[in-house]
Homo-oligomer: A and B are copies of this chain.
C-alpha cells in the first residue's frame, strides 16, 4: 500500500545524502548549532563555580543553552588550537613517520589535507571526502586537532637547516623506561574533544588523510572529566586522585605568552607563535601508591589531597610557604615533595603548561593496571621548560618511585594557520 509520506521523507533523506558543499551532510552540523555555537566557549573551562557546575542561564528563554556539543574551538588563529583550551573529556595522541619515498612535497600535501580536515571537523562539518558519519548529529564538542613535527621530519624532507635546536633529543633521565616503539615520530597529531565519537571520527579522518604519505607509528587514547561532572572544572584530578595542574600558568598571566609560545620574531621564523610539546606516557604504579595513607601521599606531593592546598596552609591558590617548619624544625613541605620541586620560582622561572589526558589500557596479567598520565606539556623552549624541571625531579622527587616514564617525544608545533593557509606552510614552502 502506497504511503504518501514516503516520497517526501525519501526526498529529504536523499537530499541529506547527496554530495554537496557540506561533504554529504546536507545540513551541516555547524548550521545545527545556531546561536549557541557562536559563543566559541569551550565548556568546562569557565570554572569558579562552587558546588556542581551549573549551565549558564539563558539570556532570554528563546536563546539556546550551550551544551557539550556546541563547544567550538577555532582552527585559524595566532596559535594552533589544543594548547590553551580547557581539558577535553577524550583525547587521542598519534604519531606518524613519513613513508619511504615521501619527501617535502608529499609532506606539504599531507599537511594541506590535514589542515582542511581539521578546519572542517572543528566546525562540526563532515570530512572533505569519505566521511564515516560517526560524528553525524553531534556538534563540534570542543574538538581540537593540533599538528607537530618531530626531529626526524627534517632529515626526511631535506629541511635540516630549518630544524630548531630546541628539537634536539631530550636528555636521558635515570628514571626513564622508554619504549622506543611508542616514542618520537616524524609527525604528531593531538586530537581532543568532549565526545568520544567525535574524537574517534577525527582520528580516523586524520589516519585516512595520511594515505601513502605517512604510516602510523604509535597511538594512545586518553580521557579527562566530562564537562559538568565536577565542581572543579579548572583543576582536574588524575588517576592518583590528586588535583593536577594547580600551578599551571594562566593565559591571563602577563608572562604567559613569553613562556609558552615562540615569539612572533623568534627563531626559526616558521615557528613564530608556535610552541614545543613534550609528550610522556607516565605509568602510575597505582597498586603501590594506593597502599600509602592519605597523609603519606600528601607528604609525597606537598599538597593536601582533598583540595590541593599546600601543606604550609591555605587553599589551592595560596602560595606555598617553602620555609615553614613544624615544631620539630622539619619543613612542613618536605624537600623532596613533588610540588616543591616543580615550583616555577625554584626553577629559574621555567614554566610549562600541563595539558594532559589520563589513560587506562586495561590490566596486566597480574592485575596491575596499565594506567597513568599522557603527560603533554607546552613551552616556548623545552630547555627552559620541561628539561630543567624533569632534571630536578629525576634527582629527588618523592613521587618518582610511584611513576614510570614509558614513552617520550618532543615536537615542534608551529603557529596557527591563517585563513587560506595550512599548518606548517611557512616551513614547507618557506
| Residues of chain A at the chain B interface (Cβ within 8 Å) | 3, 5-7, 9-10, 13, 16-17, 24, 26, 32-34, 36, 51-55, 57-58, 61, 64-65, 67-70, 89-90, 130, 132-134, 136-139, 141, 194-198, 200, 204, 207-208, 215-216, 219-221, 223-232, 237-242, 286, 290, 294-295, 304-307, 309, 312-315, 318, 321, 358, 360-363, 367, 369, 371
Contact = CB atoms under 8 A, between A and B. Distances in A.
Number of identical protomers: 2
Contacts of A242: 133
A231 B70 CA distance: 11
Given A313-B10, A363-B216, A371 B237 contact: no
A68 B363 contact: no
A204 B36 CA distance: 38
B237 A134 contact: yes
A63 B68 CA distance: 21
Contacts of A3: 313-314, 321
Contacts of A225: 138, 195-197
Given A231-B32, A313-B3, A237 B197 contact: yes
B197 A136 contact: no
Residue of A55, A89, A197 with most partner-chain B CB within 10 A: A197
Contacts of A367: 207, 215-216
A13 B132 contact: no
A51 B26 contact: no
Given A69-B52, A200-B360, A9 B134 contact: no
A315 B362 contact: no
B195 A229 contact: yes
A209 to B, nearest CB: 13
A139 to B, nearest CB: 6
Interface of A is mostly: loop
A220 B361 CA distance: 8
Contacts of A219: 362-363
A136 B360 CA distance: 18
Contacts of A321: 3
A324 B360 CA distance: 48
A158 to B, nearest CB: 26
Contact of A67 (B53, B133, B134): B53
Given A9-B309, A16-B306, A61 B68 contact: no
A284 to B, nearest CB: 11
Contacts of A70: 52
B89 A67 contact: no
A193 to B, nearest CB: 9
Contacts of A52: 32-34, 36, 64, 67, 69-70, 139
Contacts of A10: 313
Contact of A314 (B5, B16, B200, B230): B5
A12 B308 CA distance: 13
B313 A362 contact: no
Contacts of A33: 52
Contact of A371 (B69, B200, B241, B307): B200
Contacts of A240: 132, 134
A264 B234 CA distance: 48
A170 B141 CA distance: 40
Contacts of A215: 367
A358 B221 CA distance: 14
A196 B193 CA distance: 13
Contacts of A307: 13, 16
Residue of A137, A226, A304 with most partner-chain B CB within 10 A: A226
Given A13-B307, A32-B52, A204-B369, A241 B196 contact: no
Contacts of A223: 90, 196-197
Given A204-B369, A314-B9, A361-B361, A61 B53 contact: no
A294 B230 CA distance: 40
A68 B17 contact: no
Nearest to A307: B13
A13 B198 CA distance: 39
